[in-house]
């Protein structure tokens, strides 16, 4: 396999990841602002982003910390929100599983919503590419996304109160998830899971500590699995 083929896959991934810069930038900046407002230092904010690298779980943890939720609830909520990463990982095993352990470890660290969604779609479009090309595409998507998450989280933390948290930066969160999820809703199982989780999230908005989102996610997974089990996909 020519090196040019690998680089071609990498740059295709890079181009596919570029549009998400529009939402990653304000999303990460908002996290940095809110983290410092919650009492975290700039170092702690950046370390949080590097260690967790999962925006929704980080925001959930911050909100619960601000509500003085018990530590066990904060940790459990963040873990449950991030359970989707385990499903993403399992879904990518057929494509990246043959790689050496160290390459799989790198890919595992950088599995986020954007890298998974873009890669899953691309792998279906290019089923004949080699494992190395698939990894190159994955890393290409990651390149304009993940480093900016760290950088703009740090910028938000450094600027702190000079960027009011109510200035509308939070628009990035729903836009990012709509852009990532919409192209993947191809089957009745996916659509049923999405519709169920949305309805439950709205119905359970009153549940304290944002736990309604966890119940909504579990409900969506149950409905999606049942639709698939019954062969209604």
pLDDT in tens, 49-82: 898 888 778 877 877 777 777 878 888 877 877 8
Residues 192-218: tens digit of each pLDDT: 888 998 899 899 888 877 678 778 888
- The rounded mean pLDDT for the chain is 84
Label residues 100-111 b or e (16+ Cβ within 10 Å = b): eeeebeebeebb
Question: What local confidence, expressed as pLDDT, does residue 66 receive?
Answer: 75
DSSP state of 206: T
Spatial contact of 233 and 187, defined as CB atoms under 8 Å apart = yes
Q: How far is CA 213 from the centre of its chain?
A: 15
Cα–Cα separations (whole angstroms), residue 32 to 112, 148, 164, 166 = 18, 12, 12, 14
The pTM of the full predicted model, rounded to 2 decimals, is 0.76
Decide: helix, strand or coil at residue 127: coil
Site of tokens 């939720």:
69
45 pLDDT more than 60: yes
């Amino acid at each position: 396999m020519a090196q040019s083929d690998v680089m071609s896959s990498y740059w295709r991934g890079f181009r596919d990841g570029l549009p998400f810069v529009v939402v990653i930038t304000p999303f990460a900046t908002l996290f940095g602002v809110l983290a410092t407002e919650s009492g975290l230092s700039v170092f702690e904010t950046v370390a949080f982003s590097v260690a967790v690298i999962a925006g929704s779980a980080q925001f959930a943890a911050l909100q619960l910390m601000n509500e003085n939720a018990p530590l066990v609830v904060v940790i459990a909520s963040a873990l449950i929100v991030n359970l989707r990463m385990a499903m993403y990982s399992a879904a990518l095993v057929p494509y990246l599983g043959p790689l050496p352990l160290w390459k799989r470890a790198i890919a595992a660290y950088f599995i986020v919503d954007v890298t998974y969604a873009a890669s899953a779609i691309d792998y279906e479009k290019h089923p004949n590419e080699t494992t190395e090309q698939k990894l190159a595409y994955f890393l290409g998507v990651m390149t304009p996304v993940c480093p900016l998450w760290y950088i703009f989280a740090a910028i938000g933390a450094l600027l702190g109160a000079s960027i009011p948290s109510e200035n509308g930066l939070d628009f990035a969160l729903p836009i990012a998830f709509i852009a990532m999820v919409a192209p993947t809703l191809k089957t009745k199982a996916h659509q049923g899971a999405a519709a169920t989780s949305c309805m439950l999230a709205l119905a359970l908005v009153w549940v304290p500590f944002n736990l309604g989102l966890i119940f909504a996610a579990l409900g969506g997974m149950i409905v999606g699995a049942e639709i698939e089990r019954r062969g209604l996909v």
